[in-house]
């Protein structure tokens, strides 16, 4: 974990430099779109909101000054597949966002959804030397956590302390200053495929930018679409994206589990395309305009022109009923949700005090999805939209933008990570020497 | 399908005068079969259209085939992307906004100034423009008017100011002209201005002659400050003015005038004033009488002479010199006859 520690610390320093400059870009590389926001940090806490609801309770301190979205290319299952195509898409989004912001951006924080995320729970425990818990003790307990063998070709994306315990008192978010003999910490570690991060690094470098951080889009969409008490009591975010569906589980304002199902809206579209024998774009259009998952009697009479430009009049003038379309879409959506259910069951979501499930992502806009999802995932399902941040254009307030908005919140208020603490250098010799000194003190 | 309808009679010249022969039934030709099938197809299409109209209410045109072709790649090239980032850099923007225009202007000026021909062209252009502006009718001076000067002085002024009218007022150096006019002897002060209507107005105050001075170079008129007004051919030109002469007389004109004012009662006998040794005055009267005044306070000495004259008619007597040079001891010099007479009288008295 040491070279990763170095790279993550380097990214953290870049992010600090960007905060000093006051301008940073956040970029969500998705399967169906690349969204980019340019944020300005002026350090000022935003004032009273006339609507009465301040976003982030006035903690945000940043403003969106540029926003751009472009069709994604070369991305499959939330992973970069054709690097140069993706690089061009990223460049398009960045250029138009910079143009809107009228400012040059040098640092970017990227999120992505795929790359087979896997969650690990880590536990660490150290004896406290004496006195209250210090920052060094926290670093010590985190570096002393037993790291499982997460396999070659994997990288740690997040490693966040979620819980601290001093002696038998558990549930501390910040144990500094507590007095005890033993400090224990629980960490949540998220690993992803290393080559995905490398590809993103390459694309960002080709755009003359510096990477100031990477985040899992499942995590950041949870940050933006869960309200505070949901994060506190336990909730899961299901981010229905184009190529993959991200799942993140929060409790006590920490992410404790994240996963991704490699199924998404694109699969629904391809089902329609195959089932109705229409081109991909026509299928996408039919899905967004007429799609649904719950068929009613009315839908049998609701005829949809499939269109087409084959030149075969009979073929191009076909009509299908909306019920047929729903019949194609529903099994695939059910499959996605059942897969999500399986992942949540495997993660032990049932045992959380809160069972809230928030559907977000562009795929969550299918009419009737909440009804279907509550049958599969449980009763407490709601639709999630990203939190309101100042300056966000109206076109970027839909559920499809929850990950990029969450990424900007993540940039403004980053969660403590393992690499935010200084590892005690040369841990062992120093400790043994101190122990020897103490032994001498105690005996003479 | 055979058509049994009777064909209408057709005019056929070959059948002229005969009835139309009976047409036997014949097998259909290829063309007829094709035409027939075409007609059937048309009828089916018509029926289908009618069915469509019955179903939908009207005949809808087939929708335009939707264009799903890929648009051109909207991504900027790497070069365009970098150029845009460069143009968003604040330093570069400042340079483009201020630095480049300044450099361009500097370059153009430097190029033009380096080139002798263009430099000459620029100066010519500038001069032409300047001349055109200066020679606008509003700025032209067409005549000169001299006020307050005698004819002779006016003629002198016209001589020393060789101005060829019309002339633009930008070329007139009024200060220099005033200095030149002021250098003329008869002119006390001069003021010049360009009056409206393009007239150069010169107002001159002439010096007023106060005395006639006979100096080593001739006879001159002096004003009250001792400045020359003009030369005279002879003293008789201005008999109304007193004459002064002697070394340094022109430097003490003011004192001479005071003395003359005091000597007013004897004016008609006064011939002139003579400066002696640049320090004191002699008043010369007719009959060769002379009053010698001291250097210090000559006016009161003159008053005493006048008092003596009033009391004893001193000037009427045969006295050649009244010497007041020592104020405490006025001395009289009698004429030859008078002194002899005096001695005779004294001798008679002694006998």
B88 contact A CB<8A: yes
| A425, A238 contact by CB (below 8 A) | no
Count CB-CB contacts under 10 A for residue A45. 10
Helix (H/G/I), strand (E/B), else coil: A107? strand
Nearest-angstrom CA–CA distance, A372 and A376: 7
A103 contact B CB<8A: yes
> CA geometry: angle at A217 spanning A214 and A220, to 5°?
90
DSSP B134-151: HTSGGGEE-EEEEES--H
Residue A207 in tokens: 């755009």
Domain B209-350 coded CATH 3.40.50.11690: yes
Closest CA to A71 of B67, B85, B73, B68: B73
Give ipTM to 2 decimals: 0.75
Per-residue DSSP letter, B12: -
User: Facing residues of B272 across strands?
Assistant: B284
Closest CA to A30 of A343, A264, A194: A264
pLDDT in tens, B115-147: 888 889 999 999 999 999 988 888 888 888 888
B56 contact A CB<8A: no
Taking an 8 Å cut-off on Cβ atoms, the answer to whether B88 and A95 are in contact is: no
CB contact set of A331 (below 8 Å; sequence gap of 6+): none
Nearest-angstrom CA–CA distance, A352 and A151: 29
Residue A169 in tokens: 């008192």
Count CB-CB contacts under 10 A for residue A171. 9
Q: Which CATH number fits domain A265-333: 3.30.420.40, 3.40.50.970, 1.10.150.80, 3.40.50.300?
A: 3.30.420.40
Count CB-CB contacts under 10 A for residue B263. 22
Residue B10 is predicted with a pLDDT of 60
A307 contact B CB<8A: yes
Q: Where are the domains of chain B?
A: 137-206, 209-350
Phi, psi of A78 (to 5 degrees): 75, 15
| B198, B143 contact by CB (below 8 A) | yes
Q: Is the pLDDT higher at B7 or at B342?
A: B342
Domain A120-192 coded CATH 3.30.1490: yes
What are the Cα distances from residue B173, in Å, to B134, B191, B202? 14, 13, 13
- B337 pLDDT higher than 90: no
Scored b (16 or more CB within 10 A) or e, A219-241 reads bbbbbbbbeeebbbbbbbbbbbb
Contacts of A207 in chain B (CB under 8 A): 81
Scored b (16 or more CB within 10 A) or e, B79-93 reads eebeebbeebeeeee
Contacts of B88 in chain A (CB under 8 A): 98, 102-104
B74 contact A CB<8A: yes
| A183, A126 contact by CB (below 8 A) | yes
B76 contact A CB<8A: yes
| A176, A184 contact by CB (below 8 A) | no
- B195 pLDDT higher than 90: no
End-to-end CA distance of chain A: 41
Least confident of B54-63, B218-227, B297-306: B54-63
User: Facing residues of A258 across strands?
Assistant: A248
B92 contact A CB<8A: no
**Out of B68, B74, B90, closest to residue A279 by CB:** B68
- Measured on CA atoms in the order B228, B233, B235, B236, is the torsion positive or negative? negative
Taking all residues of chain B, what is their mean pLDDT, rounded to a whole number?
85
Choose the mutation target among B62, B69, B75, B89 for the interface with A, i.e. most A CBs under 10 Å. Answer: B75
Count CB-CB contacts under 10 A for residue B227. 16
CB contact set of B41 (below 8 Å; sequence gap of 6+): none
A438 contact B CB<8A: no
**Strands of the B187-195 sheet, one edge to the other:** B143-147, B199-206, B187-195
Residue B316 is predicted with a pLDDT of 84
Integer-rounded Cα Rg, in Å, for chain B is 63
Residue B74 is predicted with a pLDDT of 77
Quick one: CATH architecture of B137-206? Roll (3.10)
Nearest-angstrom CA–CA distance, A258 and A390: 28
CA distance A413 to chain B (A): 28
pLDDT band at B66 (very low <50, low <70, confident <90, very high): low
B66 contact A CB<8A: yes
Contacts of B82 in chain A (CB under 8 A): 208
Q: Where do the DSSP E strands lie in A234-325?
A: 235-240, 245-251, 254-261, 303-305, 319-321
pLDDT band at B18 (very low <50, low <70, confident <90, very high): low
Closest CA to A137 of A125, A148, A123, A147: A125
Residue for token digits 């259910």? A341
Would the CATH topology of B137-206 be identical to that of B209-350? no
CB contact set of B347 (below 8 Å; sequence gap of 6+): none
Nearest-angstrom CA–CA distance, B251 and B228: 11
Q: Where are the domains of chain A?
A: 120-192, 265-333
- B279 pLDDT higher than 70: yes
Contacts of A104 in chain B (CB under 8 A): 85, 88-90
Q: What pTM does this model have?
A: 0.63
CB contact set of A298 (below 8 Å; sequence gap of 6+): none
CB contact set of A142 (below 8 Å; sequence gap of 6+): A124, A159, A161, A185, A187, A418, A421
Nearest-angstrom CA–CA distance, A414 and A406: 11
Each residue's pLDDT expressed in tens, for chain A with a length of 444 residues = 456 677 788 888 888 888 888 899 999 999 999 999 999 987 655 544 455 444 454 456 788 999 999 989 889 888 888 898 899 999 999 999 999 998 999 999 999 988 889 999 888 888 887 778 888 888 888 888 888 888 888 888 888 888 888 888 888 888 888 888 888 989 899 999 988 988 998 999 988 898 888 999 999 999 999 988 888 888 999 999 888 999 999 998 889 999 999 999 999 999 999 999 898 989 999 999 999 999 888 888 889 988 877 888 888 888 999 999 999 999 999 999 999 999 999 988 888 888 899 999 999 999 999 899 999 988 889 999 998 888 889 888 899 999 999 999 888 877 777 777 766 654 555 667 777 888 888 887
């Amino acid at each position: 974990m040491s070279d990763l520690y170095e790279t993550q610390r380097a990214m953290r320093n870049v992010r600090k430099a960007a905060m000093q400059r006051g301008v940073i870009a956040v970029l969500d590389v998705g399967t169906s779109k690349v969204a980019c926001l340019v944020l300005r940090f002026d350090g000022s806490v935003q004032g009273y909101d006339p609507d009465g609801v301040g976003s982030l309770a006035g903690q945000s301190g940043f403003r969106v000054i540029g926003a751009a979205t472009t069709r994604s290319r070369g991305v499959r299952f939330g992973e970069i597949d054709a690097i140069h195509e993706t690089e061009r898409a990223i460049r398009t989004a960045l250029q138009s966002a910079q143009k809107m912001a009228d400012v040059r951006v040098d640092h970017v924080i990227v999120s992505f959804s795929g790359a087979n995320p896997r969650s690990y729970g880590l536990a660490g425990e150290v004896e406290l030397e004496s006195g209250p818990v210090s920052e060094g003790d926290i670093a010590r307990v985190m570096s002393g956590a037993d790291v499982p063998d997460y396999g070659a070709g994997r990288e740690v994306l997040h490693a966040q302390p979620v819980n601290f315990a001093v002696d038998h008192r558990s549930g501390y978010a910040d144990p500094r200053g507590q007095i005890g003999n033993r400090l224990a910490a629980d960490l949540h570690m998220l690993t992803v495929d290393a080559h995905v991060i490398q590809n993103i690094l390459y694309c960002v470098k080709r755009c003359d930018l510096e990477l100031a951080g990477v985040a899992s889009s499942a995590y950041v969409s949870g940050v933006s679409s869960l309200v505070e008490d949901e994060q506190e009591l336990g909730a899961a975010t299901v981010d229905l994206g184009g190529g993959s569906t991200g799942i993140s589980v929060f409790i006590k304002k920490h992410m404790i589990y994240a996963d991704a199902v490699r199924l998404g809206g694109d699969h629904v579209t391809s089902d329609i395309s195959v089932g109705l024998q229409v081109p991909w774009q026509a299928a996408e259009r039919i899905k967004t305009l007429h799609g649904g998952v719950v068929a009613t009697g009315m839908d049998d009479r609701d005829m949809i022109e499939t269109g087409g430009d084959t030149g075969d009049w009979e073929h191009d003038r076909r009509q299908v009923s909306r019920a047929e379309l729903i019949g194609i879409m529903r099994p695939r959506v059910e499959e996605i949700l059942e897969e999500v259910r399986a992942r949540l069951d495997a993660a032990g979501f049932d045992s959380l005090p809160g069972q809230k499930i928030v559907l977000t992502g562009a795929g969550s806009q299918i009419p009737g999805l909440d009804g279907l999802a509550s049958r599969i995932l449980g009763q407490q399902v709601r639709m999630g939209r990203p939190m309101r941040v100042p300056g966000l254009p109206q076109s970027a307030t839909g559920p499809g933008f929850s990950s990029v908005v969450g990424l900007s919140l993540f940039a403004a208020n980053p969660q403590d990570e393992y690499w935010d603490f200084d590892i005690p250098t040369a841990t062992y010799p120093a400790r043994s020497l101190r122990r020897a000194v103490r032994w001498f003190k105690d005996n003479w | 399908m055979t058509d049994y309808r009777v064909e209408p009679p057709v005019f056929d010249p070959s059948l002229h005068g005969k009835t139309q022969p009976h047409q036997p039934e014949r097998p259909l030709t290829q063309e007829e079969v094709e035409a027939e099938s075409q007609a059937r197809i048309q009828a089916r299409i018509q029926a289908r259209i009618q069915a469509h109209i019955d179903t939908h209410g009207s005949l809808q045109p087939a929708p335009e085939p939707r264009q799903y072709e890929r648009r051109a790649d909207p991504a900027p090239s790497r070069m365009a992307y970098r150029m845009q980032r460069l143009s968003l850099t604040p330093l570069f923007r400042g340079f483009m906004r201020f630095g480049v225009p300044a450099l361009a202007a500097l370059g153009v000026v430097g190029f033009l100034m380096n080139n002798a021909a263009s430099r000459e062209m620029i100066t010519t252009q500038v001069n032409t423009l300047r001349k055109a502006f200066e020679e606008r009718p509003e700025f032209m001076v067409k005549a000169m008017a001299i006020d307050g000067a005698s004819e002779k002085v006016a003629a002198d002024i016209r001589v020393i100011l060789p101005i060829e009218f019309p002339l633009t007022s930008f070329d007139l150096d009024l200060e220099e002209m005033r200095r030149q006019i002021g250098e003329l002897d008869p002119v006390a002060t001069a003021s010049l201005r360009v009056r409206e209507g393009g007239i150069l107005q010169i107002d001159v105050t002439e010096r007023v002659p106060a005395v006639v001075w006979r100096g080593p170079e001739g006879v001159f008129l002096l004003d009250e400050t001792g400045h020359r007004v003009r030369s005279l051919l002879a003293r008789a030109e201005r008999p109304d003015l007193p004459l002064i002469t002697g070394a340094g007389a022109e430097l003490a004109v003011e004192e001479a005038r005071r003395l003359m004012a005091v000597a007013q009662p004897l004016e008609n006998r006064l011939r002139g004033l003579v400066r002696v040794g640049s320090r004191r005055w002699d008043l010369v009267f007719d009959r060769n009488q002379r009053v010698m005044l001291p250097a210090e306070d000559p006016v009161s000495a003159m008053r005493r002479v006048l008092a003596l004259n009033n009391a004893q008619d001193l000037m009427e007597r045969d006295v050649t010199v009244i010497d007041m040079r020592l104020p405490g001891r006025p001395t009289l010099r009698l004429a030859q006859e008078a002194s002899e007479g005096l001695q005779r009288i004294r001798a008679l008295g002694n006998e």
